[in-house]
Structure 1
Amino acid sequence: MTEAQGGVRGWAAARKGVWSWLRFTSLRLRLVVVFGLVALTAAVSASGIAYWLNREAVLRRAQDAVLRDFEQEMQIRAGLLPEEPTQDELQHTAGQMANSSQRFSVLLVARDGNGKTVYGSSGGLSGFSLQDVPRSLREAVNERQKVDSENASEYRLYWQRVVEDGTPYLVAGTRVVGDGPTGYMLKSLKPEAKDLNSLAWSLGIATGLALIGSALLAQAAATTVLKPVHRLGVAARRLGEGKLDTRLRVSGTDELADLSRTFNNAAAALEKRVADMAGRDDASRRFVADMSHELRTPLTAITAVTEVLEEELDAETGSVDPMIEPAVRLVVSETRRLNNLVENLMEVTRFDAGTARLVLDDVELADQITACIDARAWLDAVELDAERGLHARLDPRRLDVILANLIGNALKHGGSPVRVSVREAAEEIVIEVQDHGPGIPEDVLPHVFDRFYKASASRPRSEGSGLGLSIALENAHIHGGEITAANSPEGGAVFTLRLPKDASALMAEAEQAEQAEKGDA
């Protein structure tokens, strides 16, 4: 890549960066920039047009006065010279012509009696010379014109503007009719250029003032326009934070007032909708909680009866009629299932009501997992990979619920053996539960922690309640942890539990928040 290409690419990247910056900066800045660009364009255009018109007017006025005076001097003084003047005569006449009101330099050119070209300059030999006249102008001056109805003279007056050493000059020339001398004039336009420079500075200052004024006007306009927009943004943020009683003050009949009214109507509708939903949700939670409490008393009696029936079934005396033994066993299993469902529902209502609390203790993880597996007679189906001496400050009962649900789900829906591995990562504990089953279908993965969700619609009455994994996730959240589900590349499903090594800080924050809510109430 050449240096020129690199420069072009660098310029393009810089321009792209500038536009990206403008695109993502505040609306106020963009309004000010747009106002400034419009004002700058208008001011520069107006100043340019004004300067050009004034320049032409000033130069035309000065030029016409000088050319008119020079032409008169050529007719009056140069026309009185003899056909073959001497150099002294030319010099004297040039000096007289230069003393006109316009004060220009004069050069006269003629042939003397010997046919020799002689010159007469108003400034002497070191003054205005033929070399100061452009060649094209000299050729045009000496060109004889045809005399007709439109052209009354054989020779015409020609002029040209030139710049030497930064100073502008007006050069003109003509020839006296009848083979008279040729005259050239040089006039400095420095005063006019100075006046035009002053005009340019004045227009530049006016442009700068217009730009500053437009910026101030844009700032005022942006403040007027953006203040309601800012209030709308603040109100929207408050609404997003749950402050549904937020409303905007409406004034005027413009589009921003209509927007404020629309926002207020939407906020009122949202507040009513949320209040209705919260009322129904509270009623639903109260119903589930009341139902669960009401079911516990009869369930306790039924459970006691089923335990007696189960003991009779296991007794060697065989006092139960073999014909009703299947029915008795079904009652026993369904009673246990119903009892577990009621307990799960009560746990769910505690989470929903925000009354679930941690009871922290120092837990040795390997012993805790072993006790969970042993209590449920899963030792033969579960492999444990955990180092001894790995401790964490957690709620042991809730950790047992999490492990029981994850391992039980792996044994029920996956394949043996189920592997439980524990490792320490930074300030958290990572527990993975992996089975060797077919894995979880991709369309099921996003819903495995949903309440009452079952992967197969053909098994609506499976032994599970559909709440186990949801309860496990809630128990992880109350510790400040998380549970994720995925499929292992080696086959089978993997549930990963991440818990902090010490949940004391989270528990203290929850207690402070609860005290603050009570204080606000």
Structure 2
Amino acid sequence: MGGWAAARRMPRPSLRWISLRLRLMLVFALVALAAAVSASGIAYWLNRDAVLTRTQDAALEDFRKSLQDNTGSLPLSPTCPELQEAADRMAATSQKYEVLLIGKVKGGGSCAAPSDRDLFTLATVPKTLVTAVNRERKVTESNPYPYHLYWQRITLNGKPYLVGGAKVIGGGPTGYLLKSLENERADLNSLAWSLGIATGLALIGSALLAQAAASTVLRPVQRLGDAARRLGEGKLDTRLRVSGTDELADLSRTFNRTAESLQKRVEDLSSREAASRRFVADMSHELRTPLTAITAVTEVLEDEADSLDPMIAPAVQLVVSETRRLNDLVENLMEVTRFDAGTARLVLDDVDVADQITACIDARAWLDAVELDAERGTMARLDPRRLDVILANLIGNALKHGGSPVRVSVRADDQQVVIAVRDHGPGIPEDVLPHVFDRFYKASASRPRSEGSGLGLSIALENAHIHGGEITAANSPDGGAVFTLTLPRDASGIEPGSGDGAGGGDRAEGDAQ
């Protein structure tokens, strides 16, 4: 299950790499966009200012000269046709602007002479411009003229225009010009489109550059991530090819040094662990021969206990009990070494779970202390010997530390069998619960020499795991501890092969509670 879950999580790192690539490309694109927009905006405004300034300066200068030339020859009080003729002459220049002349005429009154009555009248001129043009300034050294030329940009019917005006000094008429800026706007729009296209091309170019940069930068990082995952999967010989002298190359060298150090450390620990397992296995095997002889002697002494001196009988009984305890410990150690070495195998058979539990209880004379709630006919394909070891340890642990009556209940569905073993004792302290299946763990330091070896519950858990099952420990709300064993109905898919079937002792062991 763990391997499958790890495999299912593997795509996540690639998603992170894609996200990092996109973020890098986005940063490049934003920087390029900001730079392109800033450059385009500055270029547009500089060109706009230059184009408009050049156009309006040319028009205003031409208007100023034309106003002087065409109104200088007019009488002091011209007629309205004379003003109109002057306005037409002024509008006929190459600058192509319309002219409006306003002045006092013979006979009193004033006359407005526009070169285009439909387009340009006095109402077209902004009032602020009219006021500025007609305002007389004080003549000083710094201001030699009482009247000046003023201009303003306006919009008529959605089109841009330049309006300028000046008053002829010496009582002459006041002249206004109206020049269209439509051509300049078209040129500026064309420039804006060109700058927009250039900005888009710059954005595309930055994306391509970001893609190349991302590939260059992220490819080594991705290789480093792949190597780290392989290292995490246990492939300790994983190394990276190092080239260059940049930061990524230095990171790769650091990874290689770390992997090499880790490999040496793991190999050292593995060799020590293997030596330790061999020592325990060899010691257990070596102890079996003298233990066999000692066991035979203790059985004879036990049979003759009634005829022994009363002063010697307690010592003989102590030797008998300690010999059995030592024999159980050796058997359990041999079973633990099989699990650690991975040589433990299942010998599967079709088992009636209720009959198996009954046989386990009957073989240990626990019938009066155990209540069984199980329907006969609940079949499962399991290893009966290992199931007996599990049940013996769980029920024996409950009797030893929880007290009778111990209740064993069985529930099953199409997929699994659940066996709950509950006692009526004080329960398991909360700080002990996480450690009940630890090897040699004993909840009370005041009883380091209990009858159990401290391996029973650990062996029971290993036997459950080899079936593809699990054991959990908890406290019942009504008091007492509850050990729940969950096994598959068919363990064939978990362990298809069969082994020697050798295992640990079948006595109830465990000092968890």
- The answer to whether the aligner puts 1:50 opposite 2:43 as a matched pair is yes
Q: What is the letter of the counterpart of residue 71 of structure 2?
A: A
Question: Residues 311 and 23 (structure 1 numbering): CA distance in 2 closer, same or farther, change over 3 Å?
Answer: closer
**Residues in 2 aligned to 1:264 and 1:497: alpha-carbon distance in whole angstroms:** 45
Match for 2:345 among 357, 372, 397? 357
Match for 1:250 among 208, 217, 242? 242
**Residues in 1 aligned to 2:334 and 2:16: alpha-carbon distance in whole angstroms:** 54
Deviation at 1:180, TM superposition (A): 1.4
**Residues in 1 aligned to 2:420 and 2:71: alpha-carbon distance in whole angstroms:** 116
**Residues in 1 aligned to 2:244 and 2:251: alpha-carbon distance in whole angstroms:** 11
Deviation at 1:179, TM superposition (A): 2.0
- The answer to whether the aligner puts 1:285 opposite 2:277 as a matched pair is yes
- For each residue in 1:194-242, what CA deviation from the matched residue of structure 2 results, as whole angstroms up to 9, or x when unmatched? 1111111111111111111111111111111111111111111111111
**Residues in 1 aligned to 2:456 and 2:273: alpha-carbon distance in whole angstroms:** 21
Question: Residues 426 and 24 (structure 1 numbering): CA distance in 2 closer, same or farther, change over 3 Å?
Answer: farther
- The answer to whether the aligner puts 1:163 opposite 2:159 as a matched pair is no
- The answer to whether the aligner puts 1:84 opposite 2:70 as a matched pair is no
Look up the match of 1:112.
Answer: 105
- The answer to whether the aligner puts 1:273 opposite 2:261 as a matched pair is no
Report SS of the residue matched to 2:136: coil
- Structure 2 unaligned residues grouped into runs of 5+: 1-14, 500-513
Look up the match of 2:122.
Answer: 130
Look up the match of 1:9.
Answer: none
My pick for the range that moved more, 304-313 or 428-437, is: 304-313
Look up the match of 2:360.
Answer: 372
Look up the match of 2:376.
Answer: 388
Deviation at 1:66, TM superposition (A): 0.3
**Residues in 2 aligned to 1:243 and 1:391: alpha-carbon distance in whole angstroms:** 42
TM-score by length of 1: 0.90
Question: Residues 510 and 362 (structure 1 numbering): CA distance in 2 closer, same or farther, change over 3 Å?
Answer: closer
Match for 2:20 among 27, 36, 40? 27
Deviation at 1:114, TM superposition (A): 3.1
* Fraction of identical pairs, as percent: 74
Indicate if the aligned counterparts of 2:346 and 2:498 stay in contact, CA closer than 8 A. Answer: no
Name the Cα RMSD after superposition: 1.7
Match for 1:406 among 394, 400, 403? 394
Deviation at 1:492, TM superposition (A): 1.4
- The answer to whether the aligner puts 1:437 opposite 2:431 as a matched pair is no
Match for 1:234 among 203, 206, 226? 226
Q: What is the letter of the counterpart of residue 76 of structure 2?
A: E
Q: What is the letter of the counterpart of residue 261 of structure 1?
A: R
Question: Residues 426 and 162 (structure 1 numbering): CA distance in 2 closer, same or farther, change over 3 Å?
Answer: farther
Indicate if the aligned counterparts of 2:345 and 2:497 stay in contact, CA closer than 8 A. Answer: no
Report SS of the residue matched to 2:304: helix
Indicate if the aligned counterparts of 2:474 and 2:481 stay in contact, CA closer than 8 A. Answer: yes
Deviation at 1:387, TM superposition (A): 2.0
Q: What is the letter of the counterpart of residue 261 of structure 2?
A: A
Q: What is the letter of the counterpart of residue 47 of structure 1?
A: S
Number of aligned pairs? 485
Look up the match of 2:313.
Answer: 325
- The answer to whether the aligner puts 1:487 opposite 2:461 as a matched pair is no
Q: What is the letter of the counterpart of residue 138 of structure 2?
A: K
Indicate if the aligned counterparts of 2:347 and 2:498 stay in contact, CA closer than 8 A. Answer: no
- For each residue in 1:273-293, what CA deviation from the matched residue of structure 2 results, as whole angstroms up to 9, or x when unmatched? 111111111111111111111
Question: Residues 150 and 288 (structure 1 numbering): CA distance in 2 closer, same or farther, change over 3 Å?
Answer: same
**Residues in 1 aligned to 2:425 and 2:372: alpha-carbon distance in whole angstroms:** 18
Counting only pairs closer than 5 Å after superposition, residues 173-188 of structure 1 correspond to structure 2 as 173-188=165-180
Report SS of the residue matched to 2:108: coil
Deviation at 1:303, TM superposition (A): 1.5
Report SS of the residue matched to 1:486: strand
**Residues in 1 aligned to 2:146 and 2:414: alpha-carbon distance in whole angstroms:** 106
Look up the match of 1:343.
Answer: 331
- For each residue in 1:93-135, what CA deviation from the matched residue of structure 2 results, as whole angstroms up to 9, or x when unmatched? 1110011121100011122223233221112x32411121111
Look up the match of 1:262.
Answer: 254
Match for 1:462 among 435, 441, 450? 450
Look up the match of 1:143.
Answer: 135
**Residues in 2 aligned to 1:328 and 1:378: alpha-carbon distance in whole angstroms:** 26
Look up the match of 1:6.
Answer: none
Q: What is the letter of the counterpart of residue 416 of structure 1?
A: S
Look up the match of 1:7.
Answer: none
- For each residue in 1:150-191, what CA deviation from the matched residue of structure 2 results, as whole angstroms up to 9, or x when unmatched? 222221111000122332110001111122111110001111
Indicate if the aligned counterparts of 2:407 and 2:423 stay in contact, CA closer than 8 A. Answer: yes
Report SS of the residue matched to 1:77: helix
**Residues in 2 aligned to 1:223 and 1:110: alpha-carbon distance in whole angstroms:** 76
- For each residue in 1:318-363, what CA deviation from the matched residue of structure 2 results, as whole angstroms up to 9, or x when unmatched? 4222221111111111111111111111111111111111111111
**Residues in 2 aligned to 1:173 and 1:58: alpha-carbon distance in whole angstroms:** 21
**Residues in 2 aligned to 1:212 and 1:268: alpha-carbon distance in whole angstroms:** 44
Indicate if the aligned counterparts of 2:361 and 2:367 stay in contact, CA closer than 8 A. Answer: yes
**Residues in 1 aligned to 2:17 and 2:257: alpha-carbon distance in whole angstroms:** 30
Deviation at 1:25, TM superposition (A): 5.7
Look up the match of 1:302.
Answer: 294
**Residues in 2 aligned to 1:66 and 1:220: alpha-carbon distance in whole angstroms:** 52
Match for 2:94 among 91, 101, 109? 101
- For each residue in 1:437-485, what CA deviation from the matched residue of structure 2 results, as whole angstroms up to 9, or x when unmatched? 1111122111111111111122221100010000000000000011111
Report SS of the residue matched to 1:119: strand
- For each residue in 1:246-286, what CA deviation from the matched residue of structure 2 results, as whole angstroms up to 9, or x when unmatched? 11111111111111111111111111111111111111111
**Residues in 1 aligned to 2:258 and 2:271: alpha-carbon distance in whole angstroms:** 20
Q: What is the letter of the counterpart of residue 230 of structure 1?
A: Q
**Residues in 1 aligned to 2:269 and 2:96: alpha-carbon distance in whole angstroms:** 98
Q: What is the letter of the counterpart of residue 403 of structure 1?
A: L
**Residues in 2 aligned to 1:425 and 1:441: alpha-carbon distance in whole angstroms:** 32
Look up the match of 2:33.
Answer: 40
**Residues in 2 aligned to 1:406 and 1:79: alpha-carbon distance in whole angstroms:** 125
Look up the match of 2:208.
Answer: 216
